[in-house]
Every structure is written in structure tokens, then in C-alpha cells.
Chains A and B, each alone.
Chain A
Amino acid sequence: MATSEKAEPTRRDFLYIATGAFGAVGAAALAWPFIDQMNPDASALALASIEVDLSSLEEGQSMTAKWRGKPIFIRYRTAKEIEEAKAVDVASLIDPQSDEERTKPGKEHFLVQIGICTHLGCVPLGEAGEYDGWFCPCHGSHYDTAGRIRKGPAPLNLELPPYDFISDTVIKIG
């Protein structure tokens, strides 16, 4: 076929491509609801904020709340724990963060964090590990008294949920 001709596009070519394109857009529009149905639904989104009363916590006690299906560790830290957390050289940490950055001003004795190991999602054990904080038994990650990763495979400090004190002893998470 040495003498191939370049034919002008015909009306038929145009209709053919336009129909195909229209069909492709329609198929994509139809596919979206079948994908989007897997996203969090209205009932899941409705649970996106909770209030927790901390008044029953004494110094040295912890509690666990559930927010969006995840455990929230709330600890009333002892003076010794706070001192330990502040004594660390921030620059030496794997995920450098000061103790002040991990608490609310004036409420430094309360540490509120998402109780999920940043390695692969297990729930760490409290008051355990080599740094008096949390220890994840799954793969051996050690967190300190401010919930910062100190040793082990986890890459980041325990995540902090968005929260605020709405009174002296009540916090709103989410």
C-alpha cells in the first residue's frame, strides 16, 4: 500500500467519534455512584464529633474514648511524666515535636491523642515501653510520655485529633 490516500474526515466519522465520546462520558457518570457508595455515608459522618468529660480523671489515670471508630487516649499526666517529656532534646527525635506542641496551653497535664500506632494501625499499650509512655506489641514501637516515637519501626508520633476545651473539664473532639 505505497499510495495511501489521506481521506477527508466524513460526516460519518464525526458522528462515530461524537457518539463514542458521549457514550464514554455517560459510562463514567454511571460508574461514579457505584464507587461513591463506598465512601463514608451520612450515618458515618454524623458521628464525626464527640464530647468527653474529663472531670473524673485523677492525676496518673487514663481513659479511652471512641471517635470515628478509633480509640482516643486521654491521659492526666503526672508531674514526673511531663518533666520527662520536656527534658528531651527535640532535635534528637525521630519526628521532632516539643511537648507544648502536643498539648493545649494551660492544660499540659492532659494529653489527648489517637491511640493508633503510626506503623501499621495496632493499639499500643499504655504506661509501657522503654520511655514510660506507650508500647506497641505488634512490631515493637516505643512512644514516650508525650506520645512521641522514640524507637521501633513507626515513622511518626501518635497522631493528635482535632479537639478543644469547651469548658474546664470537657473537650470536644472532631
Chain B
Amino acid sequence: MSGHSTFQPQNGIVKWMERRLPIIGLAHSSFVAYPVPKNLNYWWTFGGILAFCLMAQIITGIVLVMHYAPNTAIAFASVEHIMRDVNWGWMLRYLHANGASMFFIAVYIHIMRGLYYGSYKEPREVVWILGVVIFLLMMATGFMGYVLPWGQMSFWGATVITNLFSAFPIVGDPIVELLWGGFAVDNPTLNRFFSLHYLLPFMLAAIVGLHIWAFHEAGNNNPTGVEPKDAQDTVAFTPYYTIKDLYAIVLFMIFFVWMAFMVPNFLGHPDNYIPADPLVTPAHIVPEWYFLPFYAILRAVPDKLGGVLLMFGAIAVLFVLPWLDTSKVRSNTYRPLGKQFFWIFVFVCIALGYLGAKPAEGGYVIASRIATVWYFAHFLVILPVLGLIEKPKPLPNSISEAVLAKKGGSAAAAE
């Protein structure tokens, strides 16, 4: 996208550098002059919030590694050492543990925003696919991080999740032994999880870079789903969206520190304050809240392999979403039926999360099955069919027209 100012350095040193490594110009065109549709709402600030979350997790994580020991003999004690002895250790650990939840809250909102406004549609398919890769890496990182304190939930969570792979015929058991480095979750498992837990966030950061690159190439989507037509439709990223994002990040930080300081264990499980015992499984084992919808899908299927396949399939289907949705209209604002099915889908996802936390028995199982079927039907049946039968509302001619129509219906007066 073009428009607005291009970088013209005045300073001699900057000019010298620009001739050799145009990094200041790149930053300027990416984060200062970069034109953004002027009608983005607060749902769009979650991208910036997620960048903040990733940085916060990396910084608190690097600091925690200075005190943590990835060895089954002392891992649990080293976490208690962080909580009791290390200066500010309690705060750093609570920020990191709750930071993971904040990261997932933000990413789920970010994904739902993309679904509502059709941000995955042409020409943003690669942006979306990179986003799903980020989501997958986040889940792997979050899971392995939860294993590190080596409490009961850590140990049994690791056991259950790695055992998912045993569902595959023939290759299943060798894969599981490979993951464990033994015949049960033990010290080799903890060591490699720690190594990968440190590595993956940096891969995540690299893919976030690609994600940003990709949507800077296509330009931001916006609440109307209508591409900007001219400079009237956009504003410069700085100061307009830097300040808006920053304001949203500050509000988000208030919520974040409230969680970390006031209810730091609200999203955790008391059982994880019991050291790992390979001989006793806790009575109720549940994954972290952000895995619950997928956990519900896993348990909804009365077949081991089938459950595992559907669980992975629930994420795999997201990769092909850009080609499943047949509607030419991006934003659900102009899709009377799409909008309703979107909110049903949100409800189904929340219901799956609720059901994942409940025991797998009686009515909960039936409800899980209905919700699972709906989850897949939304992508595989509803979205493909809806695009063909739905009559969308008329789209505005431009972003400016939509904005003016909203602010008092004087679109015509502006022309």
C-alpha cells in the first residue's frame, strides 16, 4: 500500500546508515507512516496486546530461568525457591504463569475478531495460516511450560498429552517413547520440555514477524471489510494507532496485574502444589483452561484414535478456512445470517470449554457431542453453504462513506 509520507532522512548519520542498511527507513514505513484504515475498532488492538504478551512472557521467562532447575530431583523445590527466596521471585513467577493465560485470552479474542470480520479471506490467507501456526506453537509452549514446576498436574498433564500419540496404530508407541526418552515421563522428558519451552517462543517471535510482514503487504482488514480506496480512508499508524494500541495495552495490563497480584492461583490447580508422584494420579485431572474446548472434543468421541484425530482436526480445519467460506463479503456486519451463526459458534466454543472442565459422564458427554458436531459443521457445512444462499446487505462504497454514515448519516454531505 502507498500513500502518506515516505521516509526522507535529514540527519547525516541516518542518511549514511540508510545508504548501507535501511533499517530505520524500514521501521519508519512499517510502524510510523504505514497507512491503516481509519475505522479500526478496539477489537483490532488485540494484535498489539499479543505482541506485548509475547514480550512479557519472554522477559519474565528469561529471568525465571536464572533461578529454575530442570531436574526432577529439584525442579519443584527450585520453583518454591523462586516463590520464597528470590527477590521478587513470587511476582515474576505469577506474572509468567498468569501471563500465559492473558496470552490465550488475547489470542482467542484476536481469532474471533478475524472470524467475525473475515480477516482470513483473500488476500490475507497467508496471514491467517501463519496465525494458526502461531496458535499451535503457543499451545505447545504453554503445555510444556506447565510441566516445568513438576507438580502433580504437570506430571499427569504431560503423561496424558504425550499419550495422545499412542492412539496412532504401529507408530504410536515408538513415538511416545521417543517423546519421553524412556518408558514413562521422567527426567529426560523434563529436560527436553525445558529446552523446547525456551526455544519455541523465539520461533514464535519469528513467525509473528512473518505474520506482521504478511498483513502489512495486504494491508489491515477493517470492520467494513471494504479495502481502502484512497488516502481519505487511511491514517498513519503513528501516532493514531500506536496511541490507541498503547491505551488498550495499558487497560489490558490493569486486568493482567489484577490477576497476578489479587487472584494469582485462580486459573491454576491446587494439585500442582503437590510434588509430582509417578505412582498416584490426582482424582480429577483437567488441562489448563485454554485447552478445555479441545479436551472436550477429545472426550466426546468414544474411540481413542477418533478422539485424537478430531481434536487435532479441530485446529487443522482452521488452516483451510479461507477456502471453506464461500461468501464474497468479508465482514459479518453485512451478513445477516453469517452474523447469527458467528455468535452461535462463539457460544459453542465457550460451551465446549465449560464441558471440558466437567467430568466425562451423563449429560455432559451428550452435550459435548452435540457441540463437537456443531463445531465441525460450522466450518464444513454452514460456512460453505451460507455464502451461496445468503443475501448480504449492501456494502458501503468506501470506508469514509461507512464512517460518515455511522456518525450522523451525512455521507452525502461529505462529497
A interface residue numbers (CB < 8 A to B) = 33-34, 36-39, 41-44
* Stretch of B17-25, B80-88, B319-327, B328-336 with 4 or more beta carbons under 8 angstroms from chain A: B80-88
Is B81 in contact with A33, judged by CB distance below 8 angstroms? no
Cα distance A44–B92 in the bound complex, in angstroms: 19
Q: Return the contact of A34 from the options B63, B67, B84 (Cβ within 8 A).
A: B63
Q: Is the CB of A37 within 8 A of B81?
A: no
B360 within 8 A of A: no
- Residues on A with beta carbons closer than 8 Å to the beta carbon of B63: 34, 37
Distance between A69 CB and nearest chain B CB, rounded to angstroms: 16
A113 CA to B87 CA, complexed, in Å: 30
Give Cα A34–Cα B59 distance, bound, in whole angstroms: 9
CB-defined interface of B72-99 with A at 8 Å, one 1/0 digit per residue?
A: 0000000001001111110110000000
Cβ distance B195 to chain A, nearest Cβ, rounded Å: 22
Tell me the bound Cα distance from A42 to B84 in angstroms.
8
CB-based contact B88/A37 at 8 Å: yes
- Excluding A37-B89, A42-B86, 12 further A-B contacts by CB distance (< 8 Å) are A33-B88, A34-B59, A34-B63, A34-B92, A37-B63, A37-B86, A37-B92, A38-B66, A39-B87, A41-B89, A42-B85, A44-B85
**Chain A residues whose CB sits within 8 angstroms of the CB of B86 once the complex forms:** 37, 41-42
Taking the closest CB of chain B, its distance from the CB of A36, in whole angstroms, is: 5
CA distance A41 to B82 in the complex (A): 9
Q: Which B residues lie within 8 Å of A41 (CB)?
A: 67, 81, 85-87, 89
Could you tell me the distance between the alpha carbons of A37 and B86 in the complex, rounded to whole angstroms? 6
Closest chain A residue, CB of each to CB of B257: A30
Identity of the chain A residue whose Cβ is nearest the Cβ of B88 in the assembled complex: A33
Contact between A33 and B91, CB atoms less than 8 A apart? yes
A39 and B91 CA atoms in complex are apart in Å by 15
User: Which chain A residue shows the least CB distance to B91?
Assistant: A33
What chain B residues lie within 8 Å of A44 (beta carbons)? Answer: 85
| A37 pairs with B67, CB closer than 8 A | yes
Q: How far is the CA of A44 from the CA of B87 in the complex (A)?
A: 11
* A42–B86 CA distance with the chains assembled, in angstroms: 6
Q: Which residues of B contact A38 (CB under 8 A)?
A: 66
CB distance from A13 to the nearest CB of B (A): 15
For B86, the closest partner residue in chain A by CB is: A41
- Are the CB atoms of A36 and B59 closer together than 8 Å? no
- Chain B 55-76 near chain A by CB (<8 Å), digits 1 or 0: 0000100010011000000000
| Min C-beta distance of A143 to chain B, whole Å | 35
Is there contact, CB below 8 Å, between A43 and B87?
no
Q: Complex Cα distance A42/B59, Å?
A: 22
Residues in B whose Cβ lies below 8 Å from that of A39: 87
B residues 87-141 touching A (CB-CB < 8 Å) = 87-89, 91-92
Residues of chain A within 8 A (CB-CB) of B92 are: 33-34, 37
A43 near B85 (CB under 8 angstroms)? yes
B189-205 residues at the A interface, CB under 8 angstroms: none
Q: Is there an interface contact between A37 and B87, defined as CB atoms closer than 8 Å?
A: yes
A36's nearest neighbour on chain B, judged by CB, is: B87
Instruction: State A42–B85 Cα separation when bound (angstroms).
Output: 5
10 A-B contact pairs sorted by A residue (CB < 8 Å): A34-B63, A37-B67, A37-B87, A38-B66, A39-B87, A41-B81, A41-B86, A41-B87, A42-B84, A43-B85
Chain A residues lying within 8 Å of B87, measured Cβ to Cβ, are 33, 36-37, 39, 41-42
A37 to B64, CA, bound (A): 9
A29 to B406, CA, bound (A): 42
Which of these, B59, B66, B81, B88, contacts A43 with CB under 8 Å?
Answer: B81
Shortest distance in angstroms between B213's beta carbon and chain A's nearest beta carbon?
A: 28
Q: A42 CA to B87 CA in the complex, in Å? A: 7
Chain B residues contacting A43 (CB-CB under 8 Å) are 81, 85
A37 proximity list for chain B (CB < 8 A): 63, 66-67, 86-89, 92
| Residues of chain A within 8 A of B67, CB atoms compared | 37, 41
What CA separation (Å) do A41 and B85 show in the bound complex?
6
Q: Cβ of A36: which chain B residues have Cβ within 8 Å of it?
A: 87-88
Give A82 to B254 CA distance when docked, in angstroms: 67
CA distance A37 to B67 in the complex (A): 9
Closest CB-CB distance, B254 to chain A, in whole Å? 12
Distance of A158 Cα from B175 Cα, bound (Å): 59
Most A-side CB within 10 Å, residue of B59, B84, B85, B91: B85
| A47–B44 alpha-carbon span in the complex (Å) | 52
Give Cα A39–Cα B85 distance, bound, in whole angstroms. 11
- What 6 A-B pairs have minimum CB-CB distances, sorted nearest first? A33-B88, A42-B85, A43-B85, A41-B85, A41-B86, A36-B87
A141 to B87, CA, bound (A): 38
CB-CB under 8 A from B66, the residues of chain A are: 37-38
**Closest chain B residue to A39 by CB distance?**
B87
Which residues in A have their C-beta under 8 angstroms from that of B84?
42
CA distance A42 to B80 in the complex (A): 12
How many angstroms from the CA of A43 to the CA of B69 in the assembled complex? Answer: 15
- Shortest distance in angstroms between A123's beta carbon and chain B's nearest beta carbon? 26
Closest B residue, CB atoms, query A33: B88
Task: Across the interface, name the chain A residue whose C-beta is closest to B64.
Answer: A37
Proximity bits, B195-229, A CB within 8 Å = 1, else 0: 00000000000000000000000000000000000
A37 to B91, CA, bound (A): 10
Write the nearest CB–CB distance from A1 to chain B, whole angstroms.
15
**Chain A residues whose C-beta falls within 8 Å of the C-beta of B85 in the assembled complex:** 41-44
Complexed CA–CA distance, A38 and B84 (Å)? 14
Query: How distant is the Cα of A5 from the Cα of B66 in the complex, in angstroms?
Result: 55
